[in-house]
Structure 1
Amino acid sequence: MQADDIRRLFPGLQNTIYLNTATMNVGCAPAREAYERALERWSAGRFDWAEAELAGEDARAMFAEIVGCTAGEIAIVPAVSAAAGIVAANMPSAKRGENVVVAENEFASNYYSWLLLQERGYQVRTITPGGEGVSAEEFERAADGGTRLIAVSAVSSATGYRADLNAIGQIARSSGAWFFVDACQAAGAVPLDVARDGIDFLAAASHKFLLGSRGMGYLYIRRDLLDALHPVGPGWKAARKPAESFYGPTMDLSRTASKLDASLAWFPAMADQAALNIFRRFGTNALLERNSRLSLRLRNALRAEGLSFQPSSDDNRSTIVSVQVDDTSAVAARFRGANVLASLRAGRIRLAAHFYNLEEEIDRVAELIGLPE
């Protein structure tokens, strides 16, 4: 695998340094071509929805490979918030002392559904991060025998802090709690293994590091929990044989996680199939290793410029770095002049590298941030 081989699939990056994948990825050529074919067929009255459904099944299988499970444990949902809503809806009314544990600075998609559980009698224990992110020790102090769910982001969208999922998973198991992971900033960016880390539910949207577009997302459900979960707003895709279940009067739900599927967004599904094939083509492990090298290079380049950034510990690094600067407006102006795209989060410059970035781009961005005001 050579960087040039990857870059050819992202022609839009020719004159742009793009470090904003934590917001949305750069569309790859295969995904764009899938959209163009779909639009052409749709506008000619020749769109084949059955082909789109098959694309969705292929995308489901590829996501399962990335997180280390089987396709039968993956539901297709439009967003992480929808995934969290399904899990929250399946939690019964609380008994005395039952609670859920979540960081108070979680992204809303992994926060609002749990906060609403207060209406069902749960105490919501929100942890104030002691540093750049919530450590496993902080979760352990907050959880007890009444904890029924622990929710965490695998990678913080604000700071890039990478949680110790294995340690938090052990805490959840010892409390008898469900363990929900928001992997929106992790899937396709850093290694994930749902079985190794004892994860019960893991959700990710496709429009970030998975290279897809808005409207497609995935929810992993540990197989042992499938029978106990009920769909929220089931449609024809929730059936065991969807193509034979357009109408009543019977309801025969799927025995796999597809019983929790939302109706498929056909165009995004075809784009997802094309985009996720990039992981198959180059090998997920090879692409994630490239991400790790780029992340380390970015951190070293920032250190060389004397810059302060989060997460400061290499043990918690991801592909996202949050940089402290004195004048964000001045840095933003330099970025515009050099055609650099990044984000501003919590008063810091957020940089998000992905395997389509080049080493020289990483070095250039660190130099631009480090220039005297």
Structure 2
Amino acid sequence: MNVSDIRGLFPGLEDTIYLNTATMCVGCAPAREAYELAAGRWSAGRFDWMEAEQAGEHARGMFAEIIGATAADIAIVPAVSTAAGIVAANFPPARRGENIVVAENEFASNYYPWLLLRERGYDVRAVAADGDVVSAEALGRVADGGTRLIAVSAVHPVTGFRANLGAISRIAAGSGAWFFVDACQAAGAVPLDVARDGVDFLATASHKFLLGSRGMGYLYVRPGLLDRLQPIVPGWKAARLPFESFLGPDMDLSPTASKLDASLAWFPAMADEAGLAVLRRFGMGAVLERNARLALRLQNALQAAGVSFRSFPAEHRSTIISVPVSAPDEVMSRLRGANAVVSLRAGRIRLATHFYNLEEELVRVAELIAGR
């Protein structure tokens, strides 16, 4: 990959060190242009919503490629909480002993929808973290024959711990449970393969490593499970032939995962199409390889600067590194003064690399955290 070609698509990074993609990506030039074009046409009364709908279909297909699925397996939803809510709402009242297994330190969007299942009689088993990590083994010790769903983050949003999805999938299969994955910090950042890892449902928002903007997200449904789900708030996009189904009285739902679609957010859909096209242009394999190299470079830079942090084995490493500091406000002030954008989570400096970062930026941030 030619670094100058990458940086040329992110002109906003010229004077900024951006290690905050785990919160929101930097908008690439093509996505910004898509927004500006849409806003210009909208303000002139010339916005073409059919073009936006087509952009959404292109985005659906490109996302499917990234996770090893097909477009027919993907629903377009606004957020992970929406996706989890759809799945949770399809659970019937619990029978004796039926339970849900989830880590107690899960992000709320992959936690609250499952907690609500207590009202239907499910025992929601929140697995305690061991040193900030909930391992596959810990989940396996809690799951049993009554477990009906195991929910995890592919990459934890604070620690950066990358879960062993294949191992957790085998635990879920042994219990006869569904396996739900929050991939917000993984899609576009680390390799994902829903077929290889036996994932039943995978959800993500697009405004992080997928180079999209807030308002677009995706839900993967494993083939064979779609018939067991009903849409919760079906709109016209849930129809088999949406453009012929604006009016009643009949309801003929799509045979694909699009029956779970929310109405499309048109501007974000056009930006998503442009952002995902950037990833496709460079090749997802090359992007992921660069991501892994940059994450390792950041880890090495922190070690060289004498900064302590939790280091994971290669198979559990992601693009996120969380650094505990004794004076977070002071460290954040130094970083802001150097135009370095990071986030503070649970009293730790959270650093998130993406393929648009430069190696020299990582060294500089490590020095700033160390107080040099």
Which TM-score band (shorter chain)?
over 0.9
> Structure 1: which amino acid aligns with 2:47?
F
What are the residue-to-residue correspondences of 1:153-172 with 2, within 5 Å? 153-172=153-172
> Structure 2: which amino acid aligns with 1:54?
Q
Aligned partner of 1:82 in structure 2 is 82
- Structure 1: where are the runs of 5+ without partners? none
Distance (whole Å) between structure 2 residues aligned to residue 78 and residue 161 of structure 1: 25
RMSD over aligned CA atoms reads 0.8
- Secondary structure of the structure 2 residue equivalent to 1:152: strand
What are the residue-to-residue correspondences of 1:181-260 with 2, within 5 Å? 181-260=181-260
- Secondary structure of the structure 2 residue equivalent to 1:208: coil
| 1:199-225 Cα deviation digits (max 9, x unpaired) | 000000001110000000000000110
Aligned partner of 1:13 in structure 2 is 13
The Cα shift of 1:311 comes to: 4.1
Distance (whole Å) between structure 2 residues aligned to residue 138 and residue 238 of structure 1: 38
- Structure 2: where are the runs of 5+ without partners? none
Aligned partner of 1:55 in structure 2 is 55
Aligned partner of 1:283 in structure 2 is 283
Aligned partner of 1:106 in structure 2 is 106
- Secondary structure of the structure 2 residue equivalent to 1:360: helix
Aligned partner of 2:151 in structure 1 is 151
Are the counterparts in 2 of residues 77 and 219 from structure 1 also a CA contact under 8 Å?
Answer: yes
Aligned partner of 1:324 in structure 2 is 324
> Structure 2: which amino acid aligns with 1:129?
A
Are the counterparts in 2 of residues 161 and 310 from structure 1 also a CA contact under 8 Å?
Answer: no
> Structure 1: which amino acid aligns with 2:344?
L
| 1:146-188 Cα deviation digits (max 9, x unpaired) | 0000000000111111111010011001100000000000000
Aligned partner of 2:118 in structure 1 is 118
> Structure 1: which amino acid aligns with 2:210?
L
Aligned partner of 1:336 in structure 2 is 336
| 1:266-315 Cα deviation digits (max 9, x unpaired) | 00000000000011100001001000000000111111122221344333
> Structure 1: which amino acid aligns with 2:229?
L
Are the counterparts in 2 of residues 19 and 340 from structure 1 also a CA contact under 8 Å?
Answer: yes
> Structure 2: which amino acid aligns with 1:108?
A
Moved over 4 A (4+): none
Distance (whole Å) between structure 2 residues aligned to residue 277 and residue 243 of structure 1: 26
Deviates more, 1:276-285 or 1:324-333: 324-333
TM-score, scaled relative to structure 2? 0.99
TM-score, scaled relative to structure 1? 0.99
Identity rate, percent: 73
> Structure 2: which amino acid aligns with 1:273?
E
What is the number of equivalent residue pairs in this alignment?
372
Deviates more, 1:63-72 or 1:314-323: 314-323
Q: Is 1:345 matched up with 2:350?
A: no
Are the counterparts in 2 of residues 159 and 311 from structure 1 also a CA contact under 8 Å?
Answer: no
- Secondary structure of the structure 2 residue equivalent to 1:272: helix
Distance (whole Å) between structure 2 residues aligned to residue 219 and residue 135 of structure 1: 24
Distance (whole Å) between structure 2 residues aligned to residue 67 and residue 315 of structure 1: 18
> Structure 1: which amino acid aligns with 2:299?
R
Distance (whole Å) between structure 2 residues aligned to residue 338 and residue 306 of structure 1: 20
Distance (whole Å) between structure 2 residues aligned to residue 68 and residue 132 of structure 1: 30
> Structure 2: which amino acid aligns with 1:223?
P
Aligned partner of 2:26 in structure 1 is 26
The Cα shift of 1:40 comes to: 0.9
> Structure 1: which amino acid aligns with 2:363?
D
Q: Is 1:271 matched up with 2:271?
A: yes
- Secondary structure of the structure 1 residue equivalent to 2:224: helix
Aligned partner of 2:93 in structure 1 is 93
Are the counterparts in 2 of residues 161 and 311 from structure 1 also a CA contact under 8 Å?
Answer: no
| 1:234-282 Cα deviation digits (max 9, x unpaired) | 0000000000000000000000000000000000000000000011100
| 1:117-136 Cα deviation digits (max 9, x unpaired) | 00000000000111231101
- Secondary structure of the structure 1 residue equivalent to 2:321: strand
Deviates more, 1:178-187 or 1:313-322: 313-322
> Structure 1: which amino acid aligns with 2:327?
D
CA distance 1:231–1:9, change in 2 (3 Å): same
